[in-house]
Amino acid sequence: MTLRSNLEPGSTSWAVRRAQWAALGITEADTDKPKIALVNSSSELSVCFTHLDDLAGLVKQAIADAGGLAFEIRTAAPSDFVTSAGKQARYIMPSRDLIVNDIEVAVEGALLDGMICLASCDKTTPAHLMAAGRLNVPTLVVIGGYQSFGSFRGRPVDIDDVYEAVGSVAAGQMAVADLAAMADKAIVGPGVCAGLGTANTMHVLCEALGMSIPGSAPVRAGSSRMEETAKLAGYRIVEMISDDLRPRQIMTTQAFENAVAVDIALGGSINSVRHLQAIAVECGLDIDVFEMLERRAQSIPLLCGVRPNGPHHTEDLERAGGTLGLMKQLESQLYGEVLTVGGCTVAELLAAAKVSDEDVIRPLTAPLDSRPGLCLIRGSLAPAGALVKLAAVPRDRVMFKGPAKVFASEADAIAALGDGGILKGDVVVMPGLGPKGGPGTVFAASFVAALNGAGLAADVAVVTDGELSGLNRGLTVGQVMPEAAEGGPLAFVQEEDEIIIDLDKRAVDLQVTPDELSRRRSSWQPPAHTEIGWLGQYAQLVQSLTQGAVLGARDGPRSSPPAGEPEAGGRRHGKGGDGYGAANV
């Protein structure tokens, strides 16, 4: 096969690379093989990643057995529950784009032929998919899987319980020693948060986009099923390079329609929508994922009740059929002609897919809830939209009206929670925490969790442009657009302003006259950032949330691939359309 990595013999690049690789023990015969980046976003800072190094060894051997040459590439490995300690979690969101650029440097700098990415915590999966769309070399994402939960005082406990228990401590309902004892028992294995947070949501959406081996997600980290799927990926990436099957042929507009449908039916993390938009931008697609969500939510109900949306665990979703099972139930709402990394179409995959437990993955005719799991709402407080995880909002709280309590930071809001400064009926507003306002999206998720732990989630609403967790539940209006730092109305909310949230009408409104809002806006100045280093650079480069908060000045996404790249949709690829379907996994 013709490989871009096969440099011209006698050239400077060829000679100096040969010297480097000979010193590594790479033979001349090896240099004629497909050269594949094994992107390992791993770290000893978090349990999310501790199994990836062993997984990398399995994939590397599979690539070698299939006739390829793998190079392990390390990137940043952010953990939302560890890397969030500094600067009010401002490093978390920017880390996604740091990984994308890190991958570009390694893969494009060395002119490698393809890549396999080992995905784990929240930001790694979208980063890997963004890099795949940007570089458009044959790519497979291997799902790292979820952690097992523990037991505390005779009942199941996971990181979600620990997260919310902080509010019980703040409200004086729980001792710090008890919280410590719970934390020590919450996690009993490697992998991402056990509930349906952003990580597990993005794992499912990665498969729904067609970018992982069918049957990959969700999966328990360290399980034999995860390892077997990873080996299949190692073999398959060599075939994809031979077939020249690239991400932009897979991640088409129709693939994003499918992923959005799955996200709605799953009740996925609010954060997933901005990640999907960012991936679409990097794929060169001129599409509006938020509009897709708004439109598709009118006809797709909630089909799953995985924590925090309901009583089931992520392992129940895996057992019941996982992503393929959910897509099977949604088949009438999906584009079947979309290609997957297996070389077959979505329709061909779903022909063999099964749901083993319809209590966990409901059919469209008997949904868990007639409402969508996710929805976009608009109004005078969010002219460009805001996101609500309807799956986590009680039905008796679809209408909420109350006075605004405005906080400049999550820490201030949590302190007020402990001091009795937040009462039933209040609308807690946390502006200026978005990507531009941080800079780097600032945590609001811990306050929302604490609100649950304090027993106030049913009686207090939250509105913010800050970082939320897929594990959050309650009436939370997130990712308000435009964000406050862009001069969005959220910047002008004052204490005791009345806010009305009407989820039936998909509306969130600030009860302030246009004249008063104009008066407040006339004296507003955008925040002056003094950050240096990575956050300072991020502040200069980050784009609006409506563009997925990608980096760089853009006149708009490219509407077609670069010269010499195959157009999206192309011919069918793979061995007989078999596509490594669920039966093979």
Known catalytic residues?
Answer: 469
Could you identify the residue written with the tokens 């400064």?
Answer: 421
CA atoms within 13 A on the CB side of 114: 29
Helix axes 92-110, 271-282, angle to 10 degrees: 20
State which H helix or E strand residue 498 sits in. Answer: strand 498-502
Contact 152, 224 (CB under 8 A): no
Would you state the structure tokens that stand for residue 72, as one six-digit string?
Answer: 């392990």
Helix axes 253-266, 322-329, angle to 10 degrees: 100
Spatial distance between the Cα atoms of 430 and 432, rounded to a whole number of angstroms: 7
Helix (H) or strand (E) holding 303: none
How many other β-carbons are positioned within 10 Å of the β-carbon of residue 439?
A: 25
3-state secondary structure of 314: helix
- Give the Å distances, CA to CA, from 452 to 86, 168, 474: 24, 8, 8
**What is the per-residue DSSP string for 357-416?**
-TTTB--TTS-SBSS-SSEEEEETTEEEEEEE-GGGS-GGGSEEEEEEEE-SSHHHHHHH
Q: Considering Cα of 48, then 54, then 55, then 57, what sign does the dihedral take?
A: positive
